[in-house]
Structure 1
C-alpha cells in the first residue's frame, strides 16, 4: 500500500512554557488544552534513507505482484477444473488489487516524502490529496481482507459440500461476488464524503488515514469501529473456514486406503495451503493496525490519551508499516506455495528424515500429478 520511514525531527514540547508570573489556573487550563489539541504529527524533514526505503518497498511490491500475476494467469489458462479455475479467478483479482493498492497510495506517499511532508499548520482536513489517499488506504485495506474471507468460504464449501459447490459456484457468480466486494469496500471508503467520518494527515505528515488522534467525534469513532470491525470479522471468518477445510482434508486422507490415490484432492490441498498462507499473512500484517486504530480512537474520544500521545502515534505508524507488507508478501504465497514447490520440499524433507513408513508415506508424489514428473524423480 505504502511505505513509511522515520523522520529526523525535533519533537516540540508537549506542554507550553509560561513565564513565572502566569497564574496557576491559567497554566492548568492551557496545559489541558495543549494535550487535547496536540497536532497529529511533528514537523520534520524526510531523510534520504527514508526515500530510498519507500522506493525499494514499491519496487519489491510491484515485482512480486507482477510475477505472481504471471504465474496465476498461466495457471488459469491451463486449468480445466472449474473449482480450481474459480479459486484462480479470486486469487488473480486479489493480486491485481494488491498491485494497484501498492502503486497508487505508494506514489502519493513518495510525492509527500519528496515534498518534505505536510506540516500541521499547513494541513487541511479537506485537502483532496489527503481525502484520496485516506480513501485509498481504507479501500485497498478492506478489499484483500474481504477477498481472503470469500476465498476461504468458497473453499470450505468446495471441500465439505462438493455437490452443492458445483451447483452454486460458477464463474459468473464469482465475478459478481468480486464486484460486490469492490463495491462494498468503496462504499466504506467514501463515507467521509457524506460527513460520516473524516480523513486527516497522520504522523509524520506523509500519509492520511481516519482521524483517530485528536478532535475525534462520534462519527470518527463509528467509522473506525466499522473499518476495524469489518477487517477483524473477515479474518475471523477466514480462520474458521480454513480450519474446517484443513480438518476435513486431513480426516479424508486418514480414512483413505493406503493403495488408493485421488489426484483431485491435491488441488484442494494446494488451495487450502495457499489460503492458510494468505490468512496468516493478513493476520500478522493487518491485525495491529485494526487493533491500534480502535485503541487510539477510543482513548482519544474519551480524552484519556494525555502523555501517551506520542506512544499512540508510534503504534499507528508501526501498524501501517506492517499493513504495507501484506501487499508485498501476498504474492509470494502463490509463488512459493505451489504444488511444484511443495512437492520438491516434501521429497527433500522425506529423504532427509527417512519417514517412508509413517503417515507421511501417504503423500506420495503421484498424488501431485504434474508434467514435470521426470524432473521431480531426478531430484
Structure 2
C-alpha cells in the first residue's frame, strides 16, 4: 500500500506544502466515496498508486498558487497608491514653491535634491504600483510560471531595482552635501554649484539604471515572486552565481548608502550641537535656521529609509545565499513571507518620504520647539541654548513659503 511516509515524501517533493498533501488525500477520499457501490472496492497497491498519481497530476495542471491574490489585497494596493500619489503631489508643491523663491545657495541645492527625490518617489510609486495592481486584477501568475521571464516581469523587476536605488543614492548624496556645508562651509561654497548638483543627480539616475539593466546582459535575472503579483531579483529558486552577485551588488549598494548617510548625518548633527553649546549665553548672534531645518529633514529621510529598506536588503541577501548553497530546505516558505514583508515595507518609503517635507518644515519645527520649551523651561536644560530665533527665518515671508 501507499504508506503515510511515502505520501508525505510525494507531497513534499512536488509542492513542499502540508496543505497540498491534505488536498491530495481529500481528492482520493472523494474519489473512493463517489464510486459506484456496484463496483468492487479495489485495495491493491497498484490501484492506490494510480489514484494518487492521477490526483497529483490533476492538481499540478491546475492554477494552484501558494497564496492567491484576494480582494482585500487589491483594496490595499489601491489605497496605498492613492495615499502615495496625494502625499507626493503635496510635498512636490511645497518644495517647488520653496525652491523658486530661495536665494541662499546651500538651501537651493538641498531643495533641488529634495524635489528630485520626491519626483523619483512619485514616478516609482505610480509605475510599479500600476503593474502590481494589473497583476492583482488578473489573479496573479501561476506558481509553475514563477521562473518565467516575460517582458512585464523584466520591466517590473527593473523598475523596482531602479526606483529602489535612486532614493537611497539621493539620500546619501544629500547627507554628504550637508555634511560638507556644515563642517567646511567655505569649501562647500566653492565646490557645490547648481550645475554640479544637476550633474550629480544625472549620475545617480544613470548608475541606478545601469544596475537595473544588468539582467538584460545575462548578469542576474528577474522572476515572479509569491503571491505571483510582483517581480524582483531571483533569490529563492534555481539561483546561480550571477544571481548571487546581482543580489550582493543591489543590497551592498543600498546598505552602503544607508551607512554613509548615517555617518554624514551624525557628523553634521554633532557639529551643530557643539556649535550651539559653545555659544555664550548672552550672545544675540543670528542662528542658521536653515541648517537646523535641513538636518531635521535629513534625519527623517534617513530613519524612514533605514526602517523601510533595510529588511528587504537583508532578507534578499539571506535568501539568495541559503538558496544557492542548498541549505534553505523547508524554510523556503518562511523566506517567501519575509520577502513579501520586505517589499511592502519598501513601498511605504515612497509614501512616508513626502511627509518628511510636509511635517518637518521650519514653521512646524518652531511650534514644536515652543511647546517643548513651555513644558521643560529655559533653565537647567539644553533647550535653553536653542533660542526661538533658531527656527524662524529673518523674514516671515520666507517662513510661510518654505
TM range (shorter): 0.7 to 0.9
**Residue 215, structure 1, aligned to residue 238, structure 2:** yes
TM-score when normalising by structure 2 = 0.82
Query: What SS does structure 1 have at the residue aligned with 2:20?
Result: coil
* CA distance 1:114–1:164, shift in 2 (3 Å): same
For 1:120, the equivalent position in structure 2 comes to: 143
Q: CA RMSD in A?
A: 2.5
What is the TM-score normalised by the length of structure 1?
A: 0.87
Task: Give the match for residue 330 of structure 1.
Answer: 353
Q: Displacement of 1:42 after TM fit?
A: 2.8
- 8 A contact 2:168–2:305 mirrored in 1: yes
CA shift for structure 1 position 191: 0.1
Which residue matches 1:240? 263
Matching residue within 207, 210, 225 for 1:187: 210
Quote the Cα distance in structure 1 between the aligned partners of 2:374 and 2:122: 38
Q: Does 1:291 align with 2:342?
A: no
In the TM superposition, what is the alpha-carbon distance from 1:126 to its structure 2 partner?
2.5
From 201, 211, 216, the counterpart of 1:178: 201
Question: Residue in 2 aligned with 1:269?
Answer: 292
Instruction: Decide whether the 8 Å contact of 1:72 with 1:88 is kept in 2.
Output: yes
Deviations 1:153-194 (A, max 9, x none): 000000000000000000000000000000000000000000
Deviation track 1:53-103 (CA, whole Å, cap 9, x = no partner) reads 100000011111111111111111121100000000000000000000000
Instruction: Decide whether aligned partners of structure 1 residues 242 and 131 sit closer, same or farther in structure 2, where only a CA change above 3 A counts.
Output: same
Written as runs of structure 1 = structure 2, the 5 A alignment for 1:140-179 is 140-179=163-202
Match for residue 71 of structure 1 among 89, 94, 102: 94
1:195: how far off?
Answer: 0.2
Alignment correspondent of 1:12: 20
Contact kept, 8 Å, 2:168 with 2:254, in 1: the verdict is yes
Using the TM superposition, give the Cα deviation of residue 46 of structure 1 relative to its aligned residue in structure 2, in angstroms.
Answer: 2.1
Which is further off, 148-157 or 45-54? Answer: 45-54
After superposition, the C-alpha distances for 1:197-220 in whole angstroms (9 at most, x for unaligned) are 000000000000000000000000
* Structure 1 spans left out of the alignment, 5+ residues: 1-8, 23-40
Pair member with larger Rg: 2
> In 1, are the aligned partners of 2:67 and 2:226 still within 8 Å (CA)?
no
Aligned residues: 349
2:115 match: 92
Q: Which of the pair has the greater relative contact order for Cα pairs under 8 Å at 6+ separation?
A: 1
